[in-house]
Amino acid sequence: MKLYYIPTTRAVRPRWLLEEMGIDYELITVSMEMSRQPEYRKLHPHGKVPVLVDEKATIFESAAICAYLADKYLEKGFAPAINSLARAYYYQWLFYASLTLEAPVEQYMFNVLPNLPEKLLPKTTQTKVSLEEAKQWFSRVCQPLNELLQDNDYLVENRFTAADIVTGGVLLWALKLGMLTEESPVKAYITKLSERPALKKADVDVYAKL
Ligand SMILES: N[C@@H](CCC(=O)N[C@@H](CS)C(=O)NCC(=O)O)C(=O)O
């Protein structure tokens, strides 16, 4: 199995899951030149990461890759049983992280890291939401997570799943960008997730160099 990856990006999420599961994989770091090649565009239509190539499957979108891997190795216990009630909440948080939680974090990143390399932040994707607006927006979308995490360590059935990885991947950015200044259940949750050995292996911190 091959994972196409760039450090600190959304590609950390499937790598983190692979490390949690103890599955062997080949890591391919994607350079700017490589991402522009027609061969790479066959793997990802926009030349982005992550991409997972596994036997006949070529999959892009970090949350989809995590969901695929958690199901492929269901016996490892990173996804609830199909058709269970827990499965519904698992989907909810996987999609919430990708569609709702991530948007203000990305906007905040555009503001605080305006000098991100073009590879990581194409100028065409930058918009005009201010730092303060992004922070307030983030605080609103954290609210349901704060309520849940007040009494739970993890998002689904109070056990660690791929939904925690995708959500944790977004919150890790927020933490590193300084968006989580005040103490909250969300901050405690991501601080604790950050200590997981599998995440430490998967996330090579190059933020300081940006
Ligand atoms: N929604 C996609 C987003 C993929 C994405 O934007 N990846 C970024 C890194 S976080 C990327 O490859 N950027 C490089 C580029 O745009 O050339 C996912 O979750 O996989």
Whether residue 207 lies inside any domain: the answer is no
Q: What is the per-residue pLDDT for 127?
A: 60
Q: Cα(98) to centroid of ligand 1, in Å?
A: 12
Judged against a pLDDT cut of 60, whether residue 205 lies above it is answered with no
- Is 27 in the same domain as 92? no
The residue whose C-alpha atom lies closest to atom 13 belonging to ligand 1 is 120
Å from CA of 50 to ligand 1 middle: 7
pLDDT band at residue 210, thresholds of 50, 70 and 90? very low
Same-domain check for residues 34 and 17: yes
Query: What sign has the CA pseudo-torsion 94, 98, 104, 106?
Result: positive
Could you read off the pLDDT of 106-150 as tens digits, one per residue? 999 887 776 666 656 555 555 678 888 999 999 999 999 999 999
Asked if residue 210 belongs to a domain, the reply is no
Query: Who lines ligand 1 at CB under 6 A?
Result: 9-10, 35, 47-50, 61-62, 119-120, 122
Q: Ligand 1 atom 18: the closest Cα is on which residue?
A: 61
Q: Which of 35, 59, 76 is the last residue of a domain?
A: 76
Task: State the Cα–Cα distance between residues 22 and 164, nearest whole angstrom.
Answer: 17
Is residue 208 in some structural domain? no
As beta bridge partners, residue 59 has 52
Q: Which domain holds residue 105?
A: 85-202
- Nearest Cα to Cα of residue 157 among 86, 68, 101, 208: 86
CATH of the domain at 140: 1.20.1050.10
What ligand 1 atom has the least distance to the C-alpha of 9? 10
Nearest-CA residue for atom 6 of ligand 1: 48
Ligand 1 binding pocket mutation candidate from 8, 10, 52 (most atoms within 8 A of CB): 10
Query: Model-level pTM?
Result: 0.92
CATH number, position 52: 3.40.30.10
Kindly state whether residues 21 and 58 are assigned to the same domain: yes
Residue 2 has pLDDT above 90, yes or no: yes
